[in-house]
Structure 1
Amino acid sequence: MCGIVGYIGQSAVQEILLSGLEKLEYRGYDSAGIFVVDKIGNSHLFREKGRIAELREVVDFDVPAQMGIGHTRWATHGVPSIANAHPHQSQDGRFTLVHNGVIENFQELKATYLPDVALTGNTDTEIVVNVIAHFAKNDALTTKEIFREALKVVKGSYAFALIDSKDPEILWAAKNKSPLLIGVGTDFHVVASDAMATIQLTDQYVEIHDGEMVQLTNTDFAIETVSGSVINRAPYKATVDAADLEKGMYPYYMLKEIDEQPAVLRRIVQQYQNSAGELEIPNELKQAVEAADRIHIVACGTSYHAGWLGKHFLEKMAGIPTEVHIASEFSYNPPLIKGNPLFVFISQSGETADSRQVLVKVKEWGYPTLTITNVQGSTLSREANHTLLLHAGPEIAVASTKAYTAQISVLAILAATLSEEKDFALIHELGIVANAMDSIIAEKEQIAELAEAYLTDKRSAFYIGRGLDYYVSMEAALKLKEISYVQTEGFAAGELKHGTIALIEEGTPVIALITQAENASHTRGNIEEVRSRGAHTCVCVMEGLQQESDQLVLPAVHPMLTPLLAVVPTQLLAYYATLQRGFDVDKPRNLAKSVTVE
């Protein structure tokens, strides 16, 4: 993963590729590279670990190239290095490939097609490009046929851009569950993960759908399915006015911020990784947490919901007893405090008045404090002893999305750095979650249809779940109620029969989250309880726990990190339910982004 830019035309391609990659920097990355070729097949590959500014230093701008591909990478297979950076080339040097996504059967592909190929890196992408070269051993096949045969055996999510140095006037692309667009010009064409990467070149774009492959020249493009059916699809105009510049091509900030979550996750890992590639927090903070015999998390709203997941992480991974408090309640009814506690304040803005009131009290009591916030230099950050930043970038929409998942991620990192299990390969597992988020985000149309089927014209709804799913249900309910005004409650599924099931009537939407194997069967029992009383049930389930009748299946991730993924479809459900009601997604009534009064 992260960003792709490809170009074929008349101009010097190096600057076009680099400028496009710079516009994709927000996605997060650990290395970058470009590959350029002229019309007679002379080619040059430039790759560098680190920032695009460092890549610029090694690129030769005097090469008279008219076609090229570029990529910013976030490690999912192999450590960040020049050898693992994209673009990747086949062993014979003929094919060069960039790739976003995760190839699920890469080990099978290697064993089947490449038993004698010595790979230079550790990526699934390098395997794919060599599989393409394997099919090229059949001299009777054209490049299109070679590419098609390779796509038939590849399983997983991908956006590919491919160059065959023996066919240097055609740029190839393909897509499955990972974003990729065609940009149309008068004497050039581009492919990009995000239109913002090339919007300075053209405002005409063509969507590529899953299971399609694309052939581009400087004057034309053609789209076919992998099975060979020709697709005719007209370009659309991407319009941006001055008021829209900050949110780019998005109609609302909330949708943009939902889509940014995979990139935020990658950026957080990058920010909390040391030179040895291990997760790390400041040593003074680590000592303060290790000295505590109990942690008290204080927060409001969405941050409070994140705090419950923080409790789970800190107790299960770090072995520290943890309590979670609503700031406005704590201020006037503090619990009994004994021993050597540490107080953790979670706030997107760092200016939340209720939380600050507690911070002032705690400082008077002389206890150590930590703020987890998105805003460096904010009040809660300045006044606490320690700060961990979310690195989520500005969050404009009132309904918090990326800040919530950033809070969960930072809490997981905090707990993992204190764990004796050496963070259970948390860096790798968070990378898997980020890619799974991309897959869910790519299924927006399905989630929009679910919103229409379950939430249109409904006055009330329920989210239910157990354990971690209950914590996510609380946040999911808050998202739906605060922007769509559907009265929504998040309940521990087993508590329904202790009173709340009385509210279930014919057609009541009940959305169940099932991501934990140990309580899946119990939650399914609760689903049957509400269904028998007329509820309109929708099941969002982790892969491996699904049943045929379930409505939404999430890619499998580490069981402890499922909240990061399970919340994404609930954010999208809230977004589309609000659109369908005709309300302003970014500016719900009566709410402000930063609550600076008690």
Structure 2
Amino acid sequence: MCGIVGVTGRKNATEILLNGLKKLEYRGYDSAGIYVNDQKGNGYLVKEKGRIEDLRAAVGPTVKGTAGIGHTRWATHGVPSQANAHPQVSADGRFYLVHNGVIGNFRELKAEYLADTEFVSDTDTEVIVQLISRFVNEGMETKEAFTHVLSLIDNSSSYAFLLMDKTQTDTLFVAKKKSPLLIGVGDGFNVVCSDSMVMLSETHDFIELTDGDVVTVTPNEVEIEDEDGNHVTRNQFHVDDDASASEKGAYEFFMLKEIDEQPAVIRTLQQKYINEDGSLQIEDDLKNAIDGADRLYIVAAGTSYHAGLVGKSLFEKLAGIPTEVHIASEFGYNPPLLSEKPFFIFLTQSGETADSREVLDKVNQWGYKSLTITNVPNSTLSREANYTMLLHAGPEIAVASTKAYTAQMTAEAILAKSLGMHKRTQAAADFELGSELTKVANAIQSLVDQKDVAEKMAQKYLSTSRNAFYIGRGLDYQTAIEAALKLKEVSYVQTEGFAAGELKHGTISLIEKGTPVIAIITDEKTAGLTRSNEQEVISRGANVINVVSENLATKEDQIILPKVHELLTPLAAIIPAQLLAYYTSKERGYDVDKPRNLAKSVTVE
């Protein structure tokens, strides 16, 4: 949530900031702002509630400079408003601060040090910038005051700070704890950003900061001090991603573009991890580490958690390893009784999810091994786990995850097959993963090529409905949970995914005339049972949409799935659900890519 950009040493700082903020929209936000300095004593602050387009419209031709900072805000302390938007400014107009994260003891700091200060916002961020101003006015230098304020912040807090002093026009002061922040390195300029993707038009070389780092950035220098005040050098990393990959092209919304990219993502994963002879490119050290475990613990949030539920079946059936799946925000503060030799797998699109990182911190303290499966190399969870497996899905911009979800399940299948071969299980030996994933990629291509079917279903059954249900059994139930999340998060239709057999244990009381119920049927063992459950809701007036594998289909079924391996059916079955969610949101006139109140990367607990 929230996003930070900063630049020093570029003539077109205003445009760089606005373009960077535009690319940070995927994180979710409700206001935005920039501060730019022209090195001639002129500073310009522009903030707006609403979209980046509103901010751009408010930026006049005189707002120019060679250094500046920008921010997209997702409200935590204080309602969405121009006053609460960042940058926050000190009372004397000298200091400008943008901040991601939450300051746990801001009220105590405000009461102890700033009782006589007049505040213009409700934010915890303004407390920090006013404190910096106070200590400078008492005689400290800017960096000294900045560092001193950091020492006053309690350990429960999280922050990524980017500060400008109007009297030091080309200098950016940076600090990080828990919230992600990068320094982008250029020739005669440097940038600061929450995500490398947003600055790829300026540089492809970045420095990942470590918790506790305090950094001074000028056009020609990046000076880093660790939490003990020692000068340190952090290694640079190079990002090869093409900045144009995050452009919509001819698509109206990123979500549809990313749905369409899923066959290519699966083929990319095949190329990255499966050799021509069918062997898998999973490092031996990782396989040996997992082989020594007596239980896997998958930890994730949201859509990644749903991918983990599918992963449980893959790891247990192909590799014979007992597997548990846990919601990160619950595990972090209420961990279960662990087995003697656990191994942890963290599923995360961004690699920055705060709840998952809280668990990983504990896992590292406990001394257990861990793997992060993520789409973002050099992300925090990637760096802090023992092993990383990349999704290679390319930038995912829409808040509602689609291609990262299918990439996660594909990666789990590859890892499970590799572990099974390492453990010599018969199930893994019989599972021709390469050819089966080719069938899945072809099946998904067939489904995305039939968008008109999903569009008609959305128009007919979901465009005006207040609520809806997805039902299924086994892996179809896991798909139903994710399908329900997709529909509710982008269309605001109250949707729940249920195990089909549980309807009669209470939930069927919610079925009314016209209630949409989408049934997912891919398992031959339970197909008849799910169809029986369908009849129960039909008899109570429900409108049923069937999503059925072709080998189980009847002529009355509306959406037919090409046949794929039973363990991989969630990869195909989710596609119609993604399209139904997309078209329902579009029919209702919503911003499909940026649903209200949601963020792509949840970097606060």
Common topology (TM > 0.5): yes
Contact 2:473 2:501 in 1 (8 A): yes
Describe the superposition over 1:55-75 as per-residue Cα deviations: whole angstroms up to 9, x where unpaired.
Answer: xxxxxxxxxxxxxxxxxxxxx
Instruction: Give the secondary-structure state (helix, strand or coil) at the position aligned to 2:431.
Output: helix
Q: Is the 8 A contact 1:279 1:427 kept in 2?
A: no
Aligned counterpart, 2:590: 583
Paired position in structure 2 for 1:135? none
Q: How does 1:212-291 map to 2 (within 5 A)?
A: 246-274=247-275, 276-291=277-292
Which AA in structure 1 matches 2:469?
F
Residue number in structure 2 paired with 1:594: 601
Shift of the alpha carbon at 1:422? 2.9
2-structure distance, mates of 1:596, 1:256: 25
- 1:294-443 to structure 2, matched below 5 A, reads 294-419=295-420, 420=425, 421-422=428-429, 424-443=431-450
Secondary structure of the corresponding residue to residue 372 of structure 1: strand
How far the C-alpha of 1:446 sits from its partner, in A, is: 1.2
Q: Are residue 446 (structure 1) and residue 453 (structure 2) matched?
A: yes
Separation in 2, partners of 1:556, 1:441:
15
Shift of 1:276: 4.0
Following the alignment from structure 1 to structure 2, what is the Cα–Cα distance between the partners of residues 461 and 275? 44
Matched to 2:317, the amino acid is K
Contact 2:272 2:281 in 1 (8 A): no
Describe the superposition over 1:408-442 as per-residue Cα deviations: whole angstroms up to 9, x where unpaired.
Answer: 00000010012233361100000011001110011
Of 516, 529, 532, 2:523 maps to 516
Asked whether the 8 Å contact 2:483–2:577 carries over to 1, the reply is: yes
Structure 2 equivalent of residue 170 of structure 1: none
Cα 1:317/1:245, change in 2 over 3 Å: closer
Cα distance change of structure 1 residues 283 and 530 upon mapping to structure 2, 3 Å threshold: same
Cα distance in structure 2, aligned partners of 1:559 and 1:369: 28
Q: Cα offset for 1:280?
A: 2.4
- Other structure's SS at 2:388 match: strand
| Percent identity of equivalent pairs | 64
Partner of residue 483, structure 2: 476
Matches of 2:280 and 2:580 in 1, distance apart?
Answer: 33
1:204 maps to which residue?
Answer: none
Deviation of residue 331 (structure 1)? Answer: 1.0
- The residue that corresponds to 2:557 in the other structure is 550
1:249 Cα deviation from its structure 2 partner: 1.2
Partner of 1:286: helix, strand, or coil? helix
- Preserved contact between residue 265 and residue 434 of structure 1 (Cα < 8 Å): yes
TM superposition shift of 1:245: 7.9
Q: CA deviation at 1:243?
A: 11
Q: Matches of residues 99-248 of structure 1 in structure 2 within 5 Å?
A: 246-248=247-249
Q: Tell whether the 8 Å contact from 1:269 to 1:279 is kept in structure 2 after alignment.
A: no
| 1:426-484 CA distance string (max 9 Å, x none) | 00000011001110011001110011111021010000000000000000000000000
CA offsets 1:221-271 (integer angstroms, 9 cap, x no match): xxxxxxxxxxxxxxxxxxxxx999811111111000000000000000110
1:484-506: per-residue Cα shift (whole Å, max 9, x none)?
Answer: 00000000000111111110011
Paired residue secondary structure (2:407): helix
- The 3-state SS of whatever aligns with 2:408 is helix
1:392 is matched by which residue type in structure 2? Answer: A
Distance 1:251 1:278 in 2: 40
- 1 CA distance for matches of 2:252 and 2:262? 17
1:495 aligns to what? Answer: 502
Larger RCO (CA under 8 A, 6+ residues apart):
2
Offset at residue 385 of structure 1 (A): 0.3
TM-score by length of 1: 0.59
- The CA distance in 1 between the partners of 2:294 and 2:517, in whole Å, is 40
Deviation sequence 1:561-588 (CA, Å, 0-9, x none): 1100000010000000000000000000
Contact 2:245 2:394 in 1 (8 A): no
Q: Is the contact between residue 417 and residue 423 of structure 1 (CA under 8 Å) also seen in structure 2?
A: no
One-letter amino acid of the structure 2 residue matched with residue 492 of structure 1: A
Letter in 2 for 1:538: I
Where structure 1 has 5 or more consecutive residues not aligned to the other structure, the ranges are: 1-241
Matched, 1:457 2:464: yes
Q: Is the 8 A contact 2:296 2:324 kept in 1?
A: yes
- Quick one: which amino acid aligns to residue 363 of structure 1? N
| Amino acid in structure 2 at the alignment position of 1:547 | T
Change (3 A) 1:317 1:404: same
Give a deviation string over 1:341-382, Cα, whole Å, max 9, x none.
Answer: 101100000000000000001111111111000000000000
Return the letter of the residue paired with 2:569: T
| 1:153 alignment counterpart | none
Contact preservation (8 Å) 1:264, 1:391: yes
Once residues 245 and 370 of structure 2 are traced to their aligned partners in structure 1, the CA distance between those partners, rounded to angstroms, is 39
The amino acid that maps onto 2:431 is: F
TM-score (norm 2): 0.58
Q: Secondary structure at the match of 1:355?
A: helix
* Letter in structure 2 aligned against 1:450: M
After superposition, give the CA deviation of every residue in 1:298-333 in whole Å (9 maximum; x if it has no partner).
000000000000000000000000000000011111
SS at match of 2:432: helix
In 2, Cα distance between equivalents of 1:245 and 1:433: 25
The answer to whether the 8 A contact 1:310-1:411 is kept is: yes
Could you tell me how far 1:338 is from its partner in structure 2?
2.3
CA contact (8 A) 2:294 2:339 kept: no
Distance 2:288 2:378 in 1: 23
Alignment of 1:67-78 (within 5 A): none
Question: Counterpart of 1:518 in 2: which secondary structure?
Answer: coil
Choose from 500, 525, 545 the match for 2:532. Answer: 525
Q: CA separation in 2, counterparts of 1:517 and 1:509?
A: 24
